[in-house]
Amino acid sequence: MMRVLKIQLSFSVFAILLIILSKVSIAETVQLNDGRTLKLEQDGTYQFVSSNRSFNIALIDATKPGQMDFMANSDRDCVLVFEVDNKVGGNLLNFSGDIEVKNNSNANVQAMGFSNINPFGLLSDKPIANGDAQRSRLIFQENCKNILSVTLLSVEDKYCNFVGRKEEDSCFRLSTVASKVGSISFSK
């Protein structure tokens, strides 16, 4: 009798657990190619869990002007080369951002007569597809060894368009910066 009661009790506990577990929705987490993470629900809906969307902007080189830089002074000037990598997702985008360059005396360095300038201005007409990158170069009126820092000041949202952009997706906020030139820092 006691044994039958234990079996019935074990079966009852098993049945209750089975009913509870069948009601719990099992969600799957999916990582998308554009860096977003989704949680897929059993009913076919989804929720955004996180997003690694970003514009990766890198200062990749600082060199003396070459022969093709006909307006530059090779003894005085420095060519800074930037790369914008689209890790935001979506189809195509245009990128436009202003930078400020400082020398080792903490004075603004000018390019084409401007101290705050958009080195990506030539790129604003060139869309950058998801996962692609574009390079841009700009001549600054300072010797490369005297350039200390570059600061990203702003990124204009009106040129920063991509599929699925929400109002809170400020293109400046989505921008990350890095310097691959050891002597020059790059920040925002």
Over the chain, what is the mean pLDDT? 77
Six token digits for residue 182: 């050891």
> What is the distance between the alpha carbons of residues 162 and 178, in angstroms, rounded to a whole number?
23
Q: What one-character DSSP code corresponds to residue 157?
A: G
Tell me the pTM.
Answer: 0.69
Tell me what the mean pLDDT of segment 169-178 comes to. 84
Residue 21's H or E segment, with its range, is helix 2-23
Six token digits for residue 15: 């049945």
Domain boundaries, the chain: 2-49, 54-187
8 Å CB contact between 101 and 126 = no
Contacts of 161 (CB under 8 A, 6+ apart): 92, 93, 94
- The CATH architecture that domain 54-187 belongs to is Sandwich (2.60)
Q: For 7-21, 79-93, 138-152, 165-179, which range has the lowest pLDDT when averaged over its residues?
A: 7-21
